[in-house]
Structure 1
Amino acid sequence: MSNSPGRRASFRPQQDETLQKGKKRSVDFYIVSRLLGYIKPYRTLVAWAIAITIAGSFLGPLRPYLTKIAIDDYIAHGNLKGLTVISIFLAGAILLDGIKQFITTWMTQIIGQKAVLDIRMDIFRHLQKLPARFYDRNPIGRLITRTTGDVESLNEMLSSGIITILGDLLQLFFIVVLMAWIDWQLTLIVLSILPLMIWATIAFKNRVRIAFQDVLTHQARLNTFFQEHLTGMSIVQLFNREEREGRKYASINADHRDANIRTVLYFSIYYPLIETLSSAAAGLVIWYSGVRLLKADLSIGVVISFVQYIWLFFRPLQHLSDRFNVIQTAIASSDRIIRLLDEKEGIEEPAGKREIECFKESIAFKNVWFAYESENWILKDISFTIRHGEKIAIVGATGSGKTTLINILSRLYPFAKGSVSIDSIELSDIAEHSVRKLIGVVMQDVFLFSGTIRENLAFGKPDVTDEEMREAARIVGADRFIDQLPGGYQYRVLENGTGLSSGQKQLIAFVRALLYNPEILVLDEATSSVDTETESLIDAATARLMSERTSIIIAHRLSTVQKADRIIVLHKGVIRESGNHQELLAKRGLYYKLYLLQHPEQTLHIGENGAPA
């Protein structure tokens, strides 16, 4: 937009404000339309709840009118029979109103709970489809807030918001109609307070929305900090950071407290203001009624019914303000949830995506470039081929891009330039699940889910039999420690395997991979955190496992890759060398230097051809 001076520049702030308001309204409409989509499957239940709300909305306003009839038509004339009849009608109205409230409350709560269940399931399914990049930039605590606090705000609106607002509005309509029917002058006095209440409600609504957005933002920060520090509590304690991290938490907690206090301030102003206005309306009605009573221009029944109507009239207005508060909180939460659901999912699947049943020929990387951010390249012009049945090792210093290659092959991250293919089929043309069905990865940091040992072992193959599981555990050598655990395979694993050693978790990961039975086995530093005895068990198991399938070994420790058919040496994202162990030693290049760093005692024992002298 031009910044030229003159009338256009002077008009711009107003124009921008109009655009902002228009954008705000369109965003709110979009949010509401998305939320209604979750209620649509339960439209029959919603229709019944609305119908009962509409049918019963006159019952509350009817009670003061029946009170007026009882006083003016029967008590004033000593008509006991008529008083008994009207009392029965009054009791019936009270009873029916109670039944109506029970049914609508039950129905709306059912609708809310069903819709919230669907929302939570959509969020969880969506989170499982989001790419790894999304989790790199979004703290887990923030995502937990989306599925707990934000969804709970929606539950309150869906279960007690919209239909209750309809009931309150209808109740206000019947109250005004009946008041006007009884006495239009007193009705005008009551309604004279309404503009002030509307102004107060609008001002309150706008400020509370901003305040609740702040509360939700600080709540997400609080959850993120808390989750991270519980997970990393051992690091906090080892580095004596308890007091300093406590001060950080106190600061975040104070921000959350202050945001909540701001909302409390608005409520503490609003509710007394509404109460004062309603009391002022009651005072005006009583004063004016007294004047007319002295002139014999008004009956006692009318005065008593109007006093009742005043409290009935302002009660739905207060309810509406509460509902506005609920809705504002829910809209703020909905905005966050919908932005999460609108996050672009993983690599887009082409229309004719391919399915691969098995791996037959080769995996080819051709001139592949990759960067996590802009052009800060992690991999640079990478080209190599892995033939079926070949055992490949990838070595290099930390940060050289070894694990990134596997992330690309597993389609966790898309590469920027180049080509990756499996059996001459472009990786982007193959369905994600089909690629991942071929690949089994055993990582350095093993993650175990809360549940039994059996559930963790069968994670990739839920239909595995007990016999197959025990045989796989025996091959890997994990059966020894599993059988000694209380309950054996039914032993309950705590969060992320707390209570098991690193070696035991690693063995479980090997059994899990063996049961998954992948055609391409990836060992990503899989033996770096185990002791010598456990490593010997794993070496024996993996030798048997890798003899029948294509294998990719990523390692720092060169002792684990010496038997590989081919070793690829990465350095700063570039392939520097390639060959088997003896060939690379004979070149006396980078691999040779890495080998000597790890085996300094071998310096004088390596011949010119790479073999021990």
Structure 2
Amino acid sequence: MHYGYGYFEEAHLGRVRDLRLWKRLLGILRPYWKPILGAVLLSLLISATGLTLPYLVRLGVDGSITQEALSFTERLRGLRHVALLFTGLMAVGFVANFFQVVLLEWAGQRVMHALRQRLFHHVIHLDVAFFNKHPVGKLVTRLTNDIQNMHEAMTSVVVTVFNDLIQLFGILAILFWMDWRLTGLLCTVIPMVLAATWWFSRLARESFRDLRTRLARINAFLQEVLGGLFVIQIFQREKDTAARFRDLNEAHLEAAFRQIRIFGFFMPFIEVMHSSAVALMIWFGGREIVQGHMSLGTLIAFLSYVRLCFQPLRELSQKYSIVQSALASAERIFELLDTPRAAPDGAAIVMPSQVRGALTFEGVSFAYDSGHPVLQNISFHIEPGETVAVVGATGAGKTTLINVLERFYDPSEGRILLDGLDIRDMNVHALRRQIGLVMQDVFLVPGTLRENICLDQSLEASVLERIVQHARLASFVAGLPQGLDTQVGPGGMDLSAGQKQLLAFARVLARNPRILILDEATSNVDSSTEREVEKALEEVLAGRTAIVIAHRLSTVRRASRIFVLDGGRLVETGTHEDLVRKDGHYARLLRLSLACVPMDENHASQASHEPETAK
């Protein structure tokens, strides 16, 4: 087990000044411009109501409370009017804020839903080579965390930042209008606050990125350890693994404390600056009141506006890091969306109405990495309905041969013909509908047995019953409490290796392809189960062109011809008897196979009759 700790998502943060990125983001938001515009207009209304409230306090103090010339009744009437207007504006702000949140969340959820659908649809159409180079955890992060980061930025930052900026400039304008001298004093404090905000945003950005990176390392390490826990326990690496986790956890703890220290300094500092500004206002404003140059209501309103002025400054500094993280997520998402899809359809989309199943490889060569060929000048022809076997040592190129036939990859040289037509000129989906693949490891879809057989097809009950019979699953299904509606896979009952293989054959019969590929389909089953699999194979192979990749003698002997690969080259072709008499690569592989599995082929019946004590 390696300890690379996976892929680090926060290697860089987004550039706020990247106009190209903002242009693409605006392109995603464009279909939902109406609710976003509505949220922006509501933010103007929210800002207007918030900025009006302190001024109403000034009117109440100066117009009623301190007006001793007015009668008690007149002063109460004036306060009542101010209080009603104050309550009405608060109600308007509440309603506007409610609808702004609803509009933003509706638009944000719709945008992220559409983007997640688009991204998932794009990912499942990428070629296999892409997934060989990109870890699954990275792609899962694209579809979950990165999408959520963009949603958070749009719903809680974009309009909120717009609202904070309007509020900040509005407050400064009102303060200058009310008393330019007090505002001038305030402006001596604001530069220090802005400098502290800029400094904090830089430190918080690095701290935030470091904390996310440490957490990503812990998650990757946990996934790696829990996925290979049996290896750790077998080789008794619990102590070493716990020590490595302790190092990762302590690094994450230190990063968390660093972020706490940064926030712990910045927040009190802003409060100190706010208190200093209030002290200046009280000192200077109080002197002005005593001298009769300022009213008490003006000072109270001024202090309220000062409090409101520091709030957007504090929020803008915190949201800067969120915007950068969201831009980094957007950049990664767009990078994935820009990845070209695999196996593009040719200019001439050709697919015969009746596929016979004749396959021809003409000088096919392929390399996963340049300079390291896996297939080299492979040429052969398979007649419709013929069953051939492909054998060879590990790494000879057997599975790669199937991958280029399925168009998971395209040959670097040569071509593959189906009924005389180059498969690169065919529609990929139509081509793959004609090819059935039964692999060594059968993937179970979480769902019922019926859903695992039919997949995306709807079959009549009589047709499905016939498929179950031909796949030798009838007795197994009959013993299930809910029959074909029994839940299998994750969350349901588990199937044995043989039952999974029979299920894979049922899938092939349900799809009814003209070409069948068996990639080590019987390697995971015992000899008794293999008999049932062999009977099912007779039904599955009937009338189909078949390519069998296998080591077991019984499976290989069924083939009319055997292709022997060695080092990516086709070195021998012939029947089983001819190749044994030739005493070449195939005979050597056969001797090695028989030497490695004596019990499986030769002594199974003898072992079954041994007494219990002997066993």
- The answer, yes or no, to whether TM exceeds 0.5 is yes
Q: Does 1:66 align with 2:64?
A: no
**Aligned twin of 1:163:** 159
**Aligned twin of 1:437:** 433
Q: Does 1:332 align with 2:328?
A: yes
Q: Which amino acid counterpart does residue 426 of structure 1 have in structure 2? A: D
**Aligned twin of 1:39:** 29
**Aligned twin of 1:273:** 269
Alpha-carbon distance, 1:341 to partner: 2.1
Alpha-carbon distance, 1:218 to partner: 4.1
Q: Does 1:502 align with 2:497?
A: yes
- DSSP 3-state at the match of 2:369: coil
Q: Does 1:493 align with 2:488?
A: yes
Q: Does 1:522 align with 2:517?
A: yes
**Aligned twin of 1:608:** none
Q: Distance in 2 between matches of 1:133 and 1:246?
A: 35
- Unaligned 5+ residue runs, structure 2? 1-12, 68-73, 597-615
**Aligned twin of 1:578:** 573
Q: Distance in 2 between matches of 1:366 and 1:218?
A: 52
Alpha-carbon distance, 1:258 to partner: 4.2
Match of 2:469 among 454, 467, 474: 474
Match of 2:187 among 174, 191, 198: 191
What's the CA shift string for 1:537-558, capped at 9, x where partnerless? 1211211221211001001223
What's the CA shift string for 1:44-101, capped at 9, x where partnerless? 1112111222233210010111101111111111622222212211111111111111
| 8 Å Cα contact 1:389-1:550 kept in structure 2 | yes
| 8 Å Cα contact 2:198-2:317 kept in structure 1 | no
**Aligned twin of 2:139:** 143
Q: Distance in 2 between matches of 1:341 and 1:376?
A: 29
What's the CA shift string for 1:345-373, capped at 9, x where partnerless? 21333443333444336222222222222
**Aligned twin of 1:212:** 208
- DSSP 3-state at the match of 1:193: helix
Q: Which amino acid counterpart does residue 121 of structure 1 have in structure 2? A: Q
Q: 1:464 to 1:220 in 2, by over 3 A?
A: farther
Q: Distance in 2 between matches of 1:342 and 1:551?
A: 37
Q: Which amino acid counterpart does residue 559 of structure 1 have in structure 2? A: S
Q: Does 1:545 align with 2:540?
A: yes
- DSSP 3-state at the match of 1:446: coil
Q: Distance in 1 between matches of 2:526 and 2:24?
A: 54
Q: Distance in 1 between matches of 2:15 and 2:229?
A: 45
Identity, % of aligned pairs? 36
Q: 1:358 to 1:453 in 2, by over 3 A?
A: same
User: Which moved further from structure 2: 188-197 or 239-248?
Assistant: 239-248
Q: Distance in 2 between matches of 1:585 and 1:271?
A: 82
Alpha-carbon distance, 1:107 to partner: 1.4
- Unaligned 5+ residue runs, structure 1? 1-22, 602-613
Q: Does 1:511 align with 2:506?
A: yes
- DSSP 3-state at the match of 1:267: helix
Q: Distance in 2 between matches of 1:25 and 1:473?
A: 58
**Aligned twin of 1:374:** 370
Alpha-carbon distance, 1:255 to partner: 4.3
Q: 1:27 to 1:130 in 2, by over 3 A?
A: farther
Q: Distance in 1 between matches of 2:230 and 2:77?
A: 81
- DSSP 3-state at the match of 2:379: strand
**Aligned twin of 1:319:** 315
| 8 Å Cα contact 2:217-2:248 kept in structure 1 | yes
| 8 Å Cα contact 2:389-2:559 kept in structure 1 | yes
Q: Which amino acid counterpart does residue 85 of structure 1 have in structure 2? A: H
**Aligned twin of 1:10:** none
Mapping of residues 258-269 of structure 1, within 5 Å? 258-269=254-265
User: Which moved further from structure 2: 352-361 or 99-108?
Assistant: 352-361
| 8 Å Cα contact 1:363-1:423 kept in structure 2 | yes
Q: Distance in 1 between matches of 2:122 and 2:273?
A: 48
- DSSP 3-state at the match of 1:528: coil
| 8 Å Cα contact 2:446-2:489 kept in structure 1 | yes
| 8 Å Cα contact 1:205-1:328 kept in structure 2 | no
- DSSP 3-state at the match of 1:130: coil
Q: Which amino acid counterpart does residue 536 of structure 2 have in structure 1? A: A
- DSSP 3-state at the match of 1:57: helix
- DSSP 3-state at the match of 2:543: coil
Q: Does 1:29 align with 2:24?
A: no
Alpha-carbon distance, 1:256 to partner: 4.2
Q: Distance in 2 between matches of 1:85 and 1:27?
A: 48
| 8 Å Cα contact 1:447-1:496 kept in structure 2 | no
- DSSP 3-state at the match of 2:571: strand
- DSSP 3-state at the match of 1:561: helix
**Aligned twin of 1:49:** 39
**Aligned twin of 1:103:** 99
Q: Distance in 2 between matches of 1:255 and 1:133?
A: 35
Size of the alignment, in residue pairs?
A: 580
Q: Distance in 2 between matches of 1:464 and 1:243?
A: 54
Q: Distance in 1 between matches of 2:577 and 2:376?
A: 26
Q: Distance in 2 between matches of 1:216 and 1:465?
A: 52
What's the CA shift string for 1:286-307, capped at 9, x where partnerless? 1211222232221111111111
- DSSP 3-state at the match of 1:322: helix
| 8 Å Cα contact 1:363-1:387 kept in structure 2 | yes
Q: 1:252 to 1:495 in 2, by over 3 A?
A: farther
**Aligned twin of 1:127:** 123
Alpha-carbon distance, 1:315 to partner: 1.1
User: Which moved further from structure 2: 539-548 or 211-220?
Assistant: 211-220
| Higher RCO (CA < 8 A, seq sep 6+) | 2
